[in-house]
Each structure stands twice: as structure tokens, then as C-alpha cells.
Amino acid sequence: MLPRHIGIIMDGNGRWARQRGLQRTDGHRAGIQTIRKVMQAADRAGVHHLTLYAFSTENWSRPAEEVGALMGLFEETLAKEVDELDASGVQIRVIGRRGPLTTGLRRLIDAAEARTRGNRTGMLCVAINYGGRAEIVDAVRSLAQGGADLARVDEAELAGALYTAGLPDPDLIIRTAGEHRMSNFLIWQAAYAELHVSPTLWPDFGERELELALQDFAARQRRFGGVAG
């Protein structure tokens, strides 16, 4: 079986850079090349929905220089890649709290989303200033502001108020660089997801590692809380 939607916690850019005597930012730059490779490999394998964890609500505590460099990379990459993604029929969606992002980045995000809204071949969802708990809080707030009867709210209604409304839940979460943690990523949506941890650092991750993750996924018996079939 193939996952329909894969969420990826892209970890290990810093370690990759340190091993080479480079700056952490060089690791993030290399990580962007990996995103390209992995998107293409996922597409070839038949997986058309990807969500990438690019920046968490906790990542603001990194040195200001690194945070600034990451924001610059997001801007640069969005500006550079949107044409090709759009031409390939990929819909771009950015999830997370946008308030603290720079005006320039917010504009680029709005433009990329508006431009690719009608695309249906694939979906690239990028989590920037994202936290799973913050997302649930934001969903409850937006339901309350919309006049919902919170005493009667159900799972479908809450899911419909999340940033990911309309997206299939991820079936598989891949985390690179060896740690077995969810780190506040898609905590609602990944309730029944399979977790695959790869020892490979994100900049070194590629088609072979993706294939291993897909094989691992295919070998799991998914039960959704029921009994094995």
C-alpha cells in the first residue's frame, strides 16, 4: 500500500553542515535541494501530497542570524520555485501563524497560494511558524469567532477549522536524522499515521531513503484501533 499524504520532519541540516565544517545555513541550503529531489521521487512513486516541517513555533529561539537566514531562504525559494511548481500543477499551501513573518514573506505566500489554488496534480504544504497545539487553539478560536456552538463541536467540525482543512490526513510521517519525536508536528492529523525514522541527515536524504520509508509503510498493518484483518 502507498501513503496518500506524507508529512516530513526535515531534521539534521545543522549536523550535516558541522560534519563538513560549514555554517548551519549551508545545511539549510543543501536541505532545499533535497526538497526538490524528494518531491520528484515522491511524484514518481505515486505520492502527490507532501507536508514539510520547515520552521516550528519553537525555532524562533535559535540565534537571530540563523532565523533571519531561514526566513530569507523561504522567500528566495518561494520566489524562485513558484513558476515551475505551478507549471507542474502543484498547489502550494503554507500552514502556521503568519503574523510574525516578514511582510515580504507573507506577500509571497499569499501570491503563491492564490496562483496555485486551482492546481490538482499535487499538493506541497509547507509548515512555517507552525505548531500543532497552536493550530488546534487557532481552530477553536476561529470556530468561536464564527459563532459555532462549542459545546456541540465534533471532530469533523474541528478538523474543518484546522489549517489543513480539505487535505487528507498524513498516512506516513518521516523524520530524518534519527530522533523519535513528533515535535508538535500535525499532532491532530497524524493521530493514526505510521512513523518512519530515518538515520539519514536531511541533506543526504534521497530517492533510496524515500523508497525504504515506503517499503516500511507497506509492511505495516494499519488497524486504526481495530483488530488485524
126 contacts ligand FPP (rule: CB under 6 A): yes
How many residues sit in the footprint of ligand FPP (CB under 6 A)? 19
**Distances in whole angstroms, Cα of residue 98 to Cα of each of 77, 78, 94, 182, 219:** 17, 15, 9, 22, 38
Active site residue 11: yes
Q: How far apart are CA 170 and CA 48, in angstroms?
A: 11
| Whether the Cβ atoms of residue 54 and residue 128 lie closer than 8 Å to each other | yes
Decide if residue 50 touches ligand FPP (CB under 6 A): no
Q: Which of residues 74-113 bind ligand FPP (CB under 6 A)?
A: 74, 77
Q: Which of residues 176-215 bind ligand FPP (CB under 6 A)?
A: 177
- Residue 162 CB, nearest distance to ligand FPP (Å)? 20
Residue 171 known to be catalytic: no
Q: Which residues have C-beta within 8 Å of that of residue 3, sequence separation ≥ 6?
A: 47, 170, 171, 172, 194, 214, 217
**Which grid coordinates are listed for 109?**
505566500
Per CB under 6 A, the list member of 5, 6, 26, 28 interacting with ligand FPP is 28
d(CA 80, CA 94): 16
CB of 32 to ligand FPP, least distance (A): 5
Quote the CA–CA distance of 122 and 86 in Å, as a whole number.
10
Closest distance to ligand FPP from the beta carbon of 30 (Å): 8
Does 5 sit near ligand FPP (CB under 6 A)?
no
Q: Which residues bind ligand FPP (CB under 6 A)?
A: 10-15, 24, 28, 31-32, 35, 52, 54, 59, 73-74, 77, 126, 177
Residue positions annotated with a catalytic role: 11, 59
